[in-house]
Amino acid sequence: MEDKESKINLVIIACDKGGFDLKTKIKEYLLENDYVIVDVGIHLLDQKQTDYIDICKDLCAKVNQMPASKGIVVSDNGINVEVVCNKFRGIRCALCHDYYTSEMTRKHNDSNILALGQSVTGFEVAKQMVEIFLKTPFDRSVPEHWNRLKKIEKIENEGAC
């Protein structure tokens, strides 16, 4: 593991019913590795189904309130939660499928939420993706990456197309 200064230590985590098992395993793994976890739900598999839109809203609000944090959201396939999270100002959520995409979304896009699909990503791969997502910094040395983020921010501030 990397030293504490080179990785994110506060993780906001969420799931819908379709991502509960993978979220639970990821949460346990992160706790074992000294991460601080804020779990916005769901908390029980038999819990009355909360709509994934509401879960994403809670997750995004927490990530925006705690800029030093990163978020992880898990559903059955990850697509639905990625779409919803990206509707919130300041959120850059990426649905990733492997080590490379997890690394690149942090380096190039400064993504602050990782979306995962329980039905398409096994725990060992998810664990690797989470770890690289949390310890990879945004590459500020490349002007194009920084300029693109500023353009995205400008679009958010101007409003929808």
Query: Quick one: DSSP state of residue 76?
Result: S
Task: Please list, in sequence order, all residues whose beta carbon lies within 8 angstroms of the beta carbon of residue 160, skipping any fewer than 6 positions away.
Answer: none
Give one DSSP letter per residue of 80-129, joined into a string.
HHHHHHTTSTT--EEE--SHHHHHHHHHHH---EEEEETTT--HHHHHHH
The structure tokens 């919803």 sit at 84
Active site residues: 108
Q: Are the C-beta atoms of residues 14 and 56 closer than 8 Å to each other?
A: yes
